[in-house]
Structure 1
């Protein structure tokens, strides 16, 4: 028999999975994209951060611009995933909130571009696509989840 606390915990963790995703799942979803993408990836960082490097296929849409530009850039029938720098930043949370308030099915990508890079996934820079050596502490094989 489950207690009220256990039921609340299950609801909390279910909600986290409904509204958050991680870099490995985003990478897999982008790799499987067909005619309509499985998701639209939003980089909510500044122009300077975007220029330094971003995830290939992402759309640059800083959080402050979401209310005025999201409807013109995004397809309302495709889930949107927002990312920012990394786990020490709540920019992706704020962007996912703004996207949700604008009527989009939004999620936050945990780990941000920091963990995307640490897992060895490609980043587009002014020199083309670059890939770092995966960090054995963060790459999928180390986790096994």
Structure 2
């Protein structure tokens, strides 16, 4: 007798449910490759890259062109000069840090459209993409 496949213990979603679920996921996430290709191609219109870690982490290493908006400091006052027409791509250290999620939530609460960079700057550097800053050490520092 053959053992049933564990991965099919719960049936797969219908195609329409999968389209809804995975389409919604992509409304919230950007992967490092897509962002790197956009930056390399000069396709920077319509969004801004936001580092949500502390200033010292940003100074050490950040994605080229990113702005530093530590999630703990996001208020109506601190974001008054942001363009409400842009989408803000938030990132932090890695999947083990939730500063990007907290930053995206704060920006969304303030009325901005947001996405999160999957895997943070750790996934970015693991893929071999460049960083700017005084050093190359990536730490959580949120």
User: Fold match, TM over 0.5?
Assistant: yes
Name the residue aligned to 1:49.
57
Distance between the aligned counterparts of 2:95 and 2:38, measured in 1?
Answer: 21
Name the residue aligned to 1:91.
99
CA contact (8 A) 1:30 1:38 kept: no
Considering only aligned residues, what root-mean-square deviation do their CA atoms show, in Å? Answer: 2.1
2:85 is the alignment partner of 1:77: yes
Scaled by the length of structure 2, the TM-score of the pair is 0.77
Name structure 1 gaps, 5 residues minimum. 131-145
Scaled by the length of structure 1, the TM-score of the pair is 0.75
Name structure 2 gaps, 5 residues minimum. 1-12, 137-142
The number of residues matched between the two structures is 123
Q: Which has the higher helix share?
A: 1
Runs of 4+ displaced beyond 4 Å: none
Distance between the aligned counterparts of 2:103 and 2:37, measured in 1?
Answer: 22
Bigger radius of gyration, 1 or 2? 2
Structure of greater relative contact order (alpha carbons < 8 Å, 6+ residues apart): 2
Distance between the aligned counterparts of 2:45 and 2:90, measured in 1?
Answer: 15
